[in-house]
Structure 1
Amino acid sequence: MGTGTTIERRTIDPVPDSERHGSPRNQFTLWFGANMQITAVVDGALAVVFGAHAVWAIVGLLIGNLAGGAVMALHSAQGPRLGLPQMISSRAQFGVLGAALPLVLVIVMYLGFAATGTVLSGQAINKILHVDASWVGIVIFGLLTFVVAAFGYRWIHALGKVASVLGILGFAYLTIKLFADQGASTLLGHPEFDGVAFLLAIALGAGWQLTFGPYVADYSRYLPANTPERTTFWATLAGSVLGSMWSMSLGALIASVPKSGFLDNQVGYVGDLAGGGAIAFVIYLVIVVGKLTVNTLNAYGGSMTMLTTATAFTRSNIVRPVVRMACVFAFLAVSVVIALAASADFLDNFKNFVLLLLMVFTPWSAINLVDYYLVSRERVDIPALFDQNGRYGAWNVTALVTYVVGVLAQIPFLAQSLYTGPITDALGGADISWIVGLVLTGAIYYPWARRTSNPPEAMIEPVREPALS
């Protein structure tokens, strides 16, 4: 890949052993830093906004983060073994062309998170620069994201380390300040339990982690092939869950403050909590760096997903870096436009967005993980992932039908503002659709795939081609 200052040359092609580098510790700092950010604070606040007491919200968020984080970390463990971006490996389950179905939904997810994150980051940049025009901060943030995502893998991991350090310092100060200002009794006293709100908190935590699944292996694929899977798994899980839980817990506590102004002005409220002045300036900088880290993941992963979709039809497995950079730019341009037109009803829309994504990604995760670990048993024909006439074919009926069934089966369990399923009504409004999506999809896919799949006897490595400059 070259030195740390060069533009990444690899795109969707397998990473050769000669370019493998790094340590699982980098997975910890990347995912810790990516989760120490304002949108995770908002996600935690939602659990309280929609009815949970802060104590039970934090417990529910922890359960959800651990459950979803375990699934996400299992995807991460595939990276060193395959040396491929995450969604390329989906071709082993869905077929070379069939993988385009979840891929299109992945791109929509990345755009949604990039746009919502850009709104909040733009507010922080505007406060740093003391400007009122909202578009200024949004455009500047989009350009900053492009720079890091365009340079690629090494820059992204370096940014994760910076975000980890700044996040610890900034969030530690905010946590201490919040307890000093409000007192533990105000924030944690009288923890009444609400079952429906508790299940929503679990769903919010699980949804947050599960939506990282489609790109998490993009950032572990350069690790040496002999990196133990358990090491990658635990480093990713620990970083992601610790970072997200700190942020979400802070959000739940902030939302529990009587007459909190957080709902109306998330970034401004955090700045006021810091105490204003120079300290607020630093906190705004922490917000920007944390959001820059995760937004770069969205842009980089989004470009990889766009390339994976396009190359399935062009039958190419080599993409020049300039094409990847063009995809990053196009992706960010669209996300900036969406951010500029974002609805003022941010919190409610964001909650529905996360829960809707849960419906379409839990079946994908179930199919990918069941196939990789239980059916194929980590044996993948990597060259066939790029060949419509190869082992995996163009379309895999087993995976595609199971995926559609897994999505449709969740509809009666949905709890959305536009639609509430009949079973959800019977449960008093509790959303357990993500559990149905994981368990039912896995239960259908495993026996069917055992009869229809044709995994190789051992891992089939690609014929290595030189990187393009």
Structure 2
Amino acid sequence: MSQVIEQRSIDHIPANERYGKPTNQFTLWFATNMQVSNVAYGAVPIFLGLPVHWAIVSIVVGHVIGGALMALHSAQGPKLGIPQMIQSRAQFGYVGATLPMVVVFIMFAGFNAACLVLTGQMLSTLIGVSVDIGIVIGTIGIILLPIFGYKILHACQKWVSLIAGVAFVIMSFNLLRNYGFGDAGSGEFSWGMFVLSVAIMVTYQLCYAPYVADYSRYLPEDTSTRKTFCFTFAGTVTACVWTFSFGAIAASAATDAFAGGNVDFIVGQAGFAIPLFLLILIISNTAAPGLGVYACFMSAITIVTTFFKVRISFPVKAVGMTLIGLSAMLLAILGRENFLGNVSAFIAILGYFMVPWTAINLVDFYLVRKERYSIPDIFNPDGRYAGIDWRAMSAYLISIAASVPFMNTEMYAGPFVEPLGGMDLAWLVSLVVSAVLFYWNMQRYPVRRGFIAHLGDAPAVQGAKASGNDSKSAAGDELESVGDAP
């Protein structure tokens, strides 16, 4: 049993415990996205007013962009062997990383709740219970899967990718046979709504970025970065474009029947064995929030261990994941009445906080430190990453502030939204500003706590002051310091 239940949590995975192939990333992310929740999300561009063919184009463009960024995070897993969010300590500091982690924790809770709403609806149809009771039953599955951990999650997703894939082939064929590509004459193209739809798709993929490396960190360290990227990208983009497009076509073809992502309409496209297809969709819709609960615990325990010494035993993991699952259940029951509206607003708001985090993380990994980190210091509150690193924190906060005038949500629309025809460019502004400003900060202030980042984080001479004088690093490299980091 101990070999089945994962023994580790946020700690580093040593070389002798590494296993698996990058192809596993395809099945995991394909299965995660072959689910009915994604079909409901696919209706969003139709409800924004886009014609169905332009809705599908926006789906493809958004998921390709977001999927590429997401897959770049996945490629970090084999190199570092640690969960994604704990690596943020290297950018934001041991304490500073708690800010994006809190945002991620909230994001996971909302994502898990959204999946549970549709699971509850499907269980209600399948076994005749109320939707609320269905949500409660579905919660059991999203708690048990992550308690077993990494190996079981990967194993389940291999089978789900096959079974759900076959089910969606049948439902998609019948949807196209019965409705074609929907009502091509409905909706009216506008650049504002198209760009807003693309932004929603990009943001959806970035919702996975904070925990994608959690599921590649057991791969051997010499695993090809290119292969990890490609299999992750192919899995998530293929499944998302497929299921979102299914939703867009369904919403265009049968707006009233599909309103809110109606599960009966979706599963009805099978044409036969409806209970069997419902069961398949319930299983596939349980795996995704199961991953979310697992990653939510990783973020939560990272936050806790930042301030308290905690021994992360199996009972601690079980209790923590149970509480996370129950919180998602409560949110699902309370927010299920306006499911689609809540989801679209939720995804849009999260993007404003997640895009700058992903830019900073990727710039640091690929351009600044170039895959070289001190793993022991990531777990050391007094190490080189201690405290708050204002080089990253300032870039993060300034980029969010810079994006505010471009935000377009139900609650707030920035002053630049109307002149831009309703476009929401906040994600693009925050992406560029955070990436450029963080990179500039790291070049302008390369030394922090006596360590240099842009030369592989090699330690500088103890007590050396970055005042424009030359000093020697422990590696023997010449360092021209230009000022201590803020």
Question: Under a length normalisation based on structure 2, what TM-score does the superposition of the two structures give?
Answer: 0.90
Give CA deviations for 1:173-201 in whole Å, capped at 9, x if unaligned. Answer: 111111121234x4446885321221122
Is the Cα–Cα contact under 8 Å of residues 254 and 260 in structure 1 kept in the other structure?
no
AA matched with 1:78: Q
Partner of 2:95: 97
Residue 284 of structure 2 is aligned to residue 287 of structure 1? no
Partner of 2:481: none
AA matched with 1:87: M
Cα drift, residue 329 of structure 1: 0.7
Mapping of residues 19-418 of structure 1, within 5 Å: 19-131=17-129, 133-184=130-181, 186-188=182-184, 193-264=189-260, 266-275=262-271, 279-315=273-309, 319-418=312-411
Secondary structure of 2:256 counterpart: coil
AA matched with 1:216: V
Secondary structure of 1:345 counterpart: helix
Aligned length: 453
AA matched with 1:358: G
* Aligned counterparts of 2:330 and 2:255: Cα–Cα separation in 1: 33
Secondary structure of 2:337 counterpart: coil
Give CA deviations for 1:412-466 in whole Å, capped at 9, x if unaligned. Answer: 1111111011111211211111111111110111011123242385589xxxxxx
Give CA deviations for 1:101-121 in whole Å, capped at 9, x if unaligned. Answer: 000010000000011110111
Is the Cα–Cα contact under 8 Å of residues 41 and 250 in structure 1 kept in the other structure?
yes
Give CA deviations for 1:153-180 in whole Å, capped at 9, x if unaligned. Answer: 0111111112211221111111111112
AA matched with 2:86: I
Cα drift, residue 265 of structure 1: 5.6
Partner of 2:467: none
Task: Call closer, same or farther: CA 1:189–1:162 in 2, change over 3 Å.
Answer: farther
* Aligned counterparts of 2:331 and 2:99: Cα–Cα separation in 1: 23
Which deviates further from its counterpart, 446-455 or 99-108?
446-455
Cα drift, residue 93 of structure 1: 0.3
**Identity percentage of aligned residues:** 38
* Aligned counterparts of 2:371 and 2:285: Cα–Cα separation in 1: 34
AA matched with 1:451: R
Is the Cα–Cα contact under 8 Å of residues 11 and 320 in structure 1 kept in the other structure?
no
* Aligned counterparts of 2:133 and 2:61: Cα–Cα separation in 1: 39
Cα drift, residue 343 of structure 1: 4.4
Give CA deviations for 1:260-316 in whole Å, capped at 9, x if unaligned. Answer: 3111462122133333xx522122122212211110111000000001111111256
* Aligned counterparts of 1:263 and 1:107: Cα–Cα separation in 2: 29
Give CA deviations for 1:199-233 in whole Å, capped at 9, x if unaligned. Answer: 12211210110110000000000000110111100
Is the Cα–Cα contact under 8 Å of residues 36 and 281 in structure 2 kept in the other structure?
yes
* Aligned counterparts of 2:347 and 2:34: Cα–Cα separation in 1: 18
Task: Call closer, same or farther: CA 1:258–1:9 in 2, change over 3 Å.
Answer: closer
Task: Call closer, same or farther: CA 1:258–1:314 in 2, change over 3 Å.
Answer: closer
Is the Cα–Cα contact under 8 Å of residues 32 and 287 in structure 2 kept in the other structure?
yes
* Aligned counterparts of 1:365 and 1:183: Cα–Cα separation in 2: 38
Is the Cα–Cα contact under 8 Å of residues 315 and 387 in structure 1 kept in the other structure?
no
* Aligned counterparts of 1:439 and 1:457: Cα–Cα separation in 2: 24
Cα drift, residue 50 of structure 1: 1.0
AA matched with 1:219: Y
Query: Structure 1 unaligned runs (5+)?
Result: 461-469
Partner of 1:465: none
Task: Call closer, same or farther: CA 1:456–1:266 in 2, change over 3 Å.
Answer: same
Secondary structure of 1:283 counterpart: helix
Is the Cα–Cα contact under 8 Å of residues 359 and 407 in structure 1 kept in the other structure?
yes
AA matched with 1:227: T
Question: Under a length normalisation based on structure 1, what TM-score does the superposition of the two structures give?
Answer: 0.93
Cα drift, residue 259 of structure 1: 4.3
* Aligned counterparts of 1:113 and 1:334: Cα–Cα separation in 2: 12
Give CA deviations for 1:326-366 in whole Å, capped at 9, x if unaligned. Answer: 21111001111111111412211211100100000001001
Query: Structure 2 unaligned runs (5+)?
Result: 447-451, 459-486
Task: Name which one, 1 or 2, has greater alpha-carbon Rg.
Answer: 2
Is the Cα–Cα contact under 8 Å of residues 214 and 295 in structure 2 kept in the other structure?
yes
AA matched with 1:362: V
Computed over aligned residues only, the root mean square deviation of the Cα atoms, in angstroms, reads: 1.8
Cα drift, residue 258 of structure 1: 4.5
Is the Cα–Cα contact under 8 Å of residues 83 and 222 in structure 1 kept in the other structure?
yes
* Aligned counterparts of 2:318 and 2:225: Cα–Cα separation in 1: 31
Query: Structure 1 or 2: larger helix share?
Result: 1
AA matched with 1:177: N
Is the Cα–Cα contact under 8 Å of residues 398 and 448 in structure 1 kept in the other structure?
yes
Partner of 1:463: none
Cα drift, residue 77 of structure 1: 0.4
Secondary structure of 2:257 counterpart: coil
* Aligned counterparts of 1:429 and 1:44: Cα–Cα separation in 2: 20
Give CA deviations for 1:41-62 in whole Å, capped at 9, x if unaligned. Answer: 1111111111111111111111
Higher relative contact order (CA 8 A, sep 6+): 1
Task: Call closer, same or farther: CA 1:264–1:106 in 2, change over 3 Å.
Answer: closer
* Aligned counterparts of 1:35 and 1:258: Cα–Cα separation in 2: 23
